[in-house]
Amino acid sequence: MDNYREDYLKNVKRIVVKVGTSTLTYPTGLLNINRIENLVRQLSDIHNRGIEVILVSSGAIGAGIGKLGLKSKPKTIPEKQAAAAVGQGILLHMYEKLFSEYGKIVAQILLTREDISHRVRFLNASNTFYSLLEQGVIPIVNENDAIVVDEIKFGDNDTLSAMVASLVNADLLVLLTDIDGLYDSNPKVNPNAKFISYVDEITDEIISAADGAGSSLGTGGMITKINAGKIATSSGCSMVIVNGDAPNVLNDILDGKDIGTFFQGQKYPLQAKKHWMAFGTKPNGSVIVDDGAEKALINNHKSLLPKGIIAVEGNFSEGDVISILNSEKKDIGHGISNYNSFDIDLIKGLDSCVIEEKLGHKNYDEVIHANNLVIF
């Protein structure tokens, strides 16, 4: 297993590094300049190796807290947005200044969930990244906290970094955090917790081991990191969770040293479009299918026909991504709908041959074609 890790890391050509608030700031909320300088030096050094680097950085709200002289982390969304708006410029200015000392050019990219959910914007974002990387630029990514609201939030930068890793087909995602990696239970509570250094598949056991909260300044506990791992590994990208405190941690990882927890990327990753449907989008509605349709979708990778649909929930248009729920309302997959919610409601339970008679037109026999469908 460790040989696999070492061999894999030798061949990494594109890396996404995510650094959390707890790594970048002191408990006071103010920036830890020593840590930031160390991170920039390491990233510049990796870049000199000929590896493309993307940094996903938290810390805008933390930087704003310091500048505004706040006593604690703001609680309401408008207060967070104000702190982020003030802090974003400070944070980027610091990165710009430090990276330029090593001769590196940086670019700022602010993303919201909508930039990923919308297929055209997703592809545009992807092209922007590729263009910057081609020119030797180091993109610095953050969620657009100054304007974002809950409905369009990634929720945490772990998820954002995993979406970026899949967006740019990265080989490796490194999550720098304030703990050494994954344990079989919470080490802060259980002194006998065992360290897990290698994960070839994210199972239910791994998910239950990860249950527990992070620090007060950050948003992501270990569970959000495991969810990020699901997103990254299913696109074929491996991931390492590691303590960001070590002085040369990134070079150590790339040299194959056994530090942190290594999550192996899937050997047969989801196609890019299916990965986007599974993780990138927020479904606009759902259809509930009967047991026969559920079996056909899961076991035989069939298209979804109107005959297998019991009910429709929400309002959505043709071309929207929707959830497919089984009869117990469990989410079993996502897909791009060929019909709007109103039309599906009229043709549900019917054979495809009567669609035209019922609607006055028929674009497709299938409500969702197998090519536009991903089953979980």
In the prediction, which pLDDT does 2 show? 59
3-state secondary structure of 240: strand
Tell me: pLDDT of 185 over 90. Answer: no
Q: Residues 267-326: pLDDT tens digits?
A: 888 887 788 888 888 898 999 999 999 999 999 889 999 999 999 999 999 888 999 999
In the prediction, which pLDDT does 121 show? 80
Q: Which residues contact residue 223 at a Cβ distance below 8 angstroms, ignoring those fewer than 6 apart?
A: 207, 210, 211, 212
- Give the chain's mean pLDDT: 87
Q: Please say whether the beta carbons of 210 and 263 come within 8 A.
A: no
Tell me: pLDDT of 113 over 80. Answer: no
Dist. CA 215–CA 376, nearest whole Å: 31
In the prediction, which pLDDT does 208 show? 75
Dist. CA 179–CA 188, nearest whole Å: 10
Please give the annotated binding residues for substrate, written as ranges: 58, 145, 157
3-state secondary structure of 257: coil
In the prediction, which pLDDT does 272 show? 78
Dist. CA 62–CA 246, nearest whole Å: 22
Residue type, 122: F
CA-to-CA dists, residue 298 to 75, 224, 269, 291, 332, angstroms: 43, 27, 17, 11, 8
Element (H, E) at 273: helix 272-275
Q: Residues 22-79: pLDDT tens digits?
A: 888 887 777 888 999 999 999 999 999 999 999 999 888 888 888 888 887 788 888 8
Please give the annotated binding residues, written as ranges: 18, 58, 145, 157, 177-178, 219-225
For the whole model, what pTM was predicted?
A: 0.79
- Looking only at Cα atoms, what is the longest distance across the chain? 70
Q: Residues 221-269: pLDDT tens digits?
A: 788 888 899 999 999 999 999 999 888 999 999 999 999 999 999 888 8
Q: Could you give the domains of the chain?
A: 1-267 (3.40.1160.10), 272-375 (2.30.130.10)
CA 197 centroid distance within chain = 22
In the prediction, which pLDDT does 17 show? 98
Please give the annotated binding residues for ATP, written as ranges: 18, 177-178, 219-225
Tell me: pLDDT of 217 over 70. Answer: no
